[in-house]
Amino acid sequence: MTDTKTDPTPDRPDAADPSELPDDIIIRVNHLVKEFPITKGVFFRKQVGAVKAVSDVSFEIRKGETLGLVGESGCGKSTTARALLRLLEPTSGDVWFRVEEDGVDDEIVNVATAKKEDLRGVRRDMQIVFQDPYASLNPRMTVASIIAEPLVVYGEGSKQERLDRVKDLLKVVGLSPEHANRYPHEFSGGQRQRIGVARALALNPSFMVLDEPVSALDVSIQAQVLNLMNDLQDEFGLTYLFIAHDLSVVRHISDRVAVMYLGKMVELADRHSLYDRPMHPYTHALLSAVPIPDPNIEMNRQRIILEGDIPSPANPPSGCRFNTRCPKAVEGTCDVQEPEFRELEDGHWVACHFPEVKQVF
């Protein structure tokens, strides 16, 4: 194991040099940390601790691919996404993002440290679709003004041009141009999510974060929206960071999948390796817990039932963060030493002292 690499994005302080970021990489997240302070007292808000929501997470996303980010509630997947878009201020770490200039002179920007005014150009290229289609649309704005808002912010086009663009976008997401003058409450959940997608597409971004875009929707509507996401990716060559807790949805949409637990990335691999040859005990448990809509398979499945609950991220366990619930934990190793994130097979990264390929379904 001596020849295994130990970090998907090694420290490269000079990565600002575009030649250092391989051409096919659109975003590189380097040792990203996000902590939320826990304060005490009313007047002198003394910091007494920190919720370590994201602890040293590194990964890359290739142009045109979908990276699925999965984990249970509180594992830090949404915080990772928000910190890399800088909707939250990262505590430390770098986020190198490729701003495409007509395919020639790409500019590489460190989103985590860039000045606010420099971020403006970057934000055109990175967009987000939120989980809750009921909360993420302003109920007092018409669909046209919701979708046109990014265009207005960036001063794009005349009023008429913007309206034409809105109508095009509505068609692109499977709605009808006549919907432009209605209000969000007139639409169903699936339709609202389409409006959210249209808004995200307005500025022709190259990279989109999809934060649980289908988990609030009914199954039959989920399928419609997933199909739409796939079509849009093909049509516009979009790169997705797809965040979800549902592993079957992630398998369906992703090219590569990363699993997070308590602020750490525990496994990262292409979709086939991750689902067919998972190596981390947490991934094993997670996969074995997902129900499959097939009685013959379900009735004969051996589940790995984890004991207990996820520990608090304010006070994570020492050593490997999963050691308190891990069926394979070895005392003296797992609870003391933090496992390195290593590449054990081609493109298959695991953070475990005792990784083992296991078929779980």
Spatial distance between the Cα atoms of 164 and 178, rounded to a whole number of angstroms: 12
Question: 3-class SS at 213?
Answer: coil
User: Which residues does residue 243 pair with via DSSP β-bridges, in sequence order?
Assistant: 69, 211
235 binds other proteins (CB under 8 A): yes
99 neighbors 108 (Cβ within 8 angstroms): yes
Candidates 24, 101, 161, 186; binder of other proteins (CB under 8 A) is 186
Backbone CA torsion sign across 180, 183, 188, 191: positive
Helices 189-201 and 219-236 meet at what angle, rounded to 10?
Answer: 20
Q: Which residues, including other chains, have CB under 8 Å from residue 46's CB and lie 6 or more apart? A: 39, 40
29 binds other proteins (CB under 8 A): no
- Considering only residues 151-180, where is the footprint of other proteins by CB under 8 A? 171-172, 174-176, 179
CA angle 261, 131, 74 (to 5 degrees): 20
Candidates 86, 165, 199, 252; binder of other proteins (CB under 8 A) is 252
Candidates 187, 207, 322, 349; binder of other proteins (CB under 8 A) is 187
317 neighbors 324 (Cβ within 8 angstroms): yes
Interface characters, 48-87, with other proteins (x: CB under 8 A): ------------------------xx--------------
Spatial distance between the Cα atoms of 340 and 282, rounded to a whole number of angstroms: 15
247 binds other proteins (CB under 8 A): yes
Residue 209 CB, shortest distance to other proteins, in Å, is 20
User: Which of 268/287 has CB closer to other proteins?
Assistant: 287
245 binds other proteins (CB under 8 A): yes
Residue 96 CB, shortest distance to other proteins, in Å, is 29
Backbone CA torsion sign across 43, 46, 51, 56: positive
Residue 68 CB, shortest distance to other proteins, in Å, is 12
114 binds other proteins (CB under 8 A): no
Of 46-54, 76-84, 111-119, 293-301, the segment contacting other proteins by CB under 8 A is 293-301
User: Which of 161/235 has CB closer to other proteins?
Assistant: 235
Tokens standing for residue 288: 């074995």
Phi, psi of 4 (to 5 degrees): -75, 140
Candidates 126, 306, 326, 350; binder of other proteins (CB under 8 A) is 306
User: Which of 288/323 has CB closer to other proteins?
Assistant: 288
Tokens standing for residue 166: 């809105």
- Nearest Cα to Cα of residue 70 among 235, 244, 236: 244
Q: Which residues, including other chains, have CB under 8 Å from residue 187's CB and lie 6 or more apart? A: 143, 179, 195
190 binds other proteins (CB under 8 A): yes
Phi, psi of 353 (to 5 degrees): -75, -30
Candidates 11, 101, 298, 356; binder of other proteins (CB under 8 A) is 298
Tokens standing for residue 121: 């150009």
107 binds other proteins (CB under 8 A): no
361 binds other proteins (CB under 8 A): yes
Candidates 9, 78, 79, 222; binder of other proteins (CB under 8 A) is 222
User: Which of 99/285 has CB closer to other proteins?
Assistant: 285
Residues that contact other proteins, how many (by CB under 8 A) = 61
Q: Give the single-character DSSP code of 151.
A: H
Candidates 16, 290, 314, 344; binder of other proteins (CB under 8 A) is 290
Instruction: Spell out the long-range contacts of 100-104 with Cβ–Cβ below 8 A and sequence spacing 24 or more.
Output: 100/125, 100/206
Q: List residues near other proteins by CB under 8 A.
A: 72-73, 171-172, 174-176, 179, 185-191, 218-224, 226-228, 230-232, 234-235, 245-249, 251-252, 272, 275-276, 285-295, 297-299, 301, 303, 305-306, 309-310, 361
